[in-house]
A and B are shown apart, each in its own frame.
Chain A
Amino acid sequence: MTMAMLVAPRLVHLSAVDVIIIAFYFALVLGIGFYLRGRANTGEDFFMAGREMTAWVAGLSFLSANLGALELMGWAGSAYQYGILATHWYWIGAIPAMLFLALVMMPFYYISKTHSVPGYLKLRFGEPARALSAVSFAFMTVLMSGVNMFAMAKVMQIVLGWDINFSIWVSSLTVAIYVTLGGLRSAIFNEVLQFFLIWAGALLIPILGLYEAGGWSNLKLQITERASAQYVHLWSGLGSFTGNPMGIHWTGIVFGLASIISMGYWTTDFLVVQRILAAKDIRSAELAPIIGAGFKMLVPVIVILPGLLGLAVLPEKLVPESVAAVTGAHSYNDVLPLMLARYCGPGLLGLGITALIAGFMSGMAGNVSAFTTVWTYDIYRPFFNSEGSDHHYVNVGRWTTVIGVLISVGTAYLVMQFASIMDYVQALFSFFIAPLFGTVVLGMLWKRATGPAGFWGLLCGTLSSVSMWLWVKVDPSALRYVALSPHAKGLAQDMYQALWSFIVCVTVTVGVSLATKPMPDSALTGLVYGLTKVPAVGDVPLYQKPLFWAAVVTVVFIALNIIFW
């Protein structure tokens, strides 16, 4: 692997010190993996990080698992394209769900001592619901990992001129080594490291950008002149589909994004929930998502603000990907690297690029470690070998890590050949989130929900989501029915598709439950609200109680929405 691989035209040029910083990052993550290899010998160690993470480590890891490089660049691009509206995905599209996970759902996950979300479904609804959830999750997780791998390699090619094969193999082999050696603990350690690198590498952009723009008030004036006043308002333009740059109505944001999509993602996607399950006690498990929520509210500073600053200070006008592909101009998604190149000299540039690489690799490690746990505990053990020793399952986990990475690499090459696969895989992933939330939340809060109802609700909700997507694919005008308006755009479809599939899931679950025999209370103890004694967080001062910090986060969340109304 030599510098000769830097062949294509690029956005930025690295100096020697930048290359050293990037190389140091790779050395450090591999070093952490080797250091932790002796601490991943049992199933609890390898798959659950020994369940000994503090609230801070679990909380930052929980947030980092979602803070990937594509997420950073994509939402910075969305902020350039749609303005401050993109912040909804960080605030109302995340904070209420994180607090709901902390205060309502986490006690049930934690008390049940499950290894995974499908594992909870097994305890609550039985094997069929677990099998459906586990197979769909495992399948989609490795495919998504491959899609992200290709997308990131493409970004590295555009930004740095790196060869795609070089990016794919170096990053995937590094992830395979450190997760195979240290298991979930290694993945979590590197996610926390990535969290710090991202802030260290990205925070300078808004600081210097605001300095250049002349402060927030001047920035708003410049954006209003170059785009529109609606680019700096969160809610005031959401009264109609045509009153804002995103073409979305407030009902889609509140009932689709906040109530269903974000609830589904933050409370049932095992990729993020797994980090909280590794917490050392119930108080840490409840505090971790609240800590994550506190920092999540700050992420727009390094993601949305650079996009808005790009609108004001970049001399060129960025264009959609489709136009960029034809004209050679920079696309919206290039705004973050462009801002990085605008302000960051030698050293700082290397740190910024390291932050992007770290974001990608920890996201991949998150996918792979979640896949490994679900495959080993929820597919291999119940369906292939239920008599194995703990040591046997750890070995299966290690091999599954390697195989998961290889499947991801294979998917990346498949996407390279057939680009449209990327859209299909990303759409497929969204099919499962909303119905899964319906099944899990009913399982936790309604003791009358029965085993068959859990399975059929999940299946029907998922199929309804697939059907709506296919309907719009075959007949684009159907969007007016799915999203309630002919003016609705793609994002609005996701919101309403999630809402309808959730309603289908809940309706079927309730209907089948009422038609089937109730489960005995003894089978639901520790799994359902009303039949579970949630342990107290202990006799601790007020400032150490999860409820106190949830209230603080809620007040700040409301204040921010009012300030940027």
Chain B
Amino acid sequence: MVSIWFFIGISLAVNGALILAAGLYQLVNPPENPGIVLYNLHANVWWGAVLLVFGLIYCFRFKPGRQS
């Protein structure tokens, strides 16, 4: 059976990739009015990257067929 942790990995990786992509898009095309506080920290870039890395680690570590 596919491990629950693999599904967690997929969720984190896909969400991380989407958030990172949105953040990078904003970096390249800065909005006139970001509408949030601390926009200069670009949280969606680094938080998206963190989620993506964790997600990929989970996906690899618990991919189907790897576990006993």
| A interface residues with partner B (beta carbon < 8 Å) | 15, 17, 20-21, 24-25, 28, 32, 35, 39, 57, 189, 192-193, 196-197, 200, 204, 208, 211-212, 313, 341-348, 350-351, 354
- Residue interface mask B31-60, A partner, CB < 8 A = 1: 000111111010110011001000000000
Give the residue among A28, A197, A208, A347 with the most B Cβ atoms within 10 A. A347
In the complex, are the beta carbons of A21 and B15 less than 8 A apart?
Answer: yes
In the complex, are the beta carbons of B18 and A347 less than 8 A apart?
Answer: yes
**A200 touching B51 in the complex, CB below 8 Å, given contacts A15-B22, A24-B15:** yes
Out of B10, B14, B18, B34, which one reaches A345, CB within 8 Å? B34
Contacts of A192 in B (CB 8 A): 4, 8
Contacts of B23 in A (CB 8 A): 345-347
Q: Would you call B62 an interface residue if the criterion is a C-beta within 8 Å of the partner chain's C-beta atoms?
A: no
In the complex, are the beta carbons of A193 and B8 less than 8 A apart?
Answer: yes
In the complex, are the beta carbons of B43 and A208 less than 8 A apart?
Answer: yes
Contacts of A351 in B (CB 8 A): 15, 19
Q: Closest CB of chain A to B16's CB: distance in Å?
A: 8
**13 CB < 8 A contacts A-B:** A17-B21, A28-B11, A189-B7, A193-B7, A197-B15, A212-B37, A313-B37, A343-B37, A343-B43, A345-B23, A346-B26, A347-B19, A348-B44
Contacts of A211 in B (CB 8 A): 38, 41
Interface size class of B (residues with CB under 8 A): 20 to 34
* Docked pose: A39 CA to B15 CA in angstroms: 28
* Docked pose: A24 CA to B15 CA in angstroms: 9
SS of A interface (majority) = helix
Contacts of B36 in A (CB 8 A): 341-345
In the complex, are the beta carbons of B4 and A196 less than 8 A apart?
Answer: no
* Docked pose: A347 CA to B38 CA in angstroms: 16
Contacts of A345 in B (CB 8 A): 22-23, 26, 34-36, 39, 43-44
In the complex, are the beta carbons of B7 and A348 less than 8 A apart?
Answer: no
* Given A345-B23, A346-B22, A351-B15: 19 more A-B contacts, CB < 8 Å: A15-B22, A20-B18, A39-B1, A193-B4, A193-B8, A193-B11, A196-B12, A197-B15, A200-B15, A208-B37, A208-B38, A212-B37, A212-B38, A341-B36, A343-B36, A345-B43, A347-B18, A347-B20, A348-B47
Contacts of B48 in A (CB 8 A): 347-348
* Docked pose: A15 CA to B12 CA in angstroms: 19
Contacts of B35 in A (CB 8 A): 345
Contacts of B19 in A (CB 8 A): 17, 21, 347-348, 350-351
Closest chain B residue to A195 by CB distance?
A: B8
In the complex, are the beta carbons of B43 and A17 less than 8 A apart?
Answer: no
Contacts of A28 in B (CB 8 A): 7, 10-11
Q: Closest CB of chain B to A178's CB: distance in Å?
A: 12
Closest chain B residue to A39 by CB distance?
A: B1
Out of A57, A197, A347, which one reaches B22, CB within 8 Å? A347
* Docked pose: A196 CA to B34 CA in angstroms: 27
* Docked pose: A193 CA to B48 CA in angstroms: 17
Closest chain A residue to B2 by CB distance?
A: A35
* Docked pose: A39 CA to B2 CA in angstroms: 12
Q: Closest CB of chain B to A156's CB: distance in Å?
A: 20
* Docked pose: A193 CA to B4 CA in angstroms: 8
* Docked pose: A48 CA to B30 CA in angstroms: 51
Q: Closest CB of chain A to B22's CB: distance in Å?
A: 4
**A348 touching B43 in the complex, CB below 8 Å, given contacts A32-B7, A208-B38:** yes
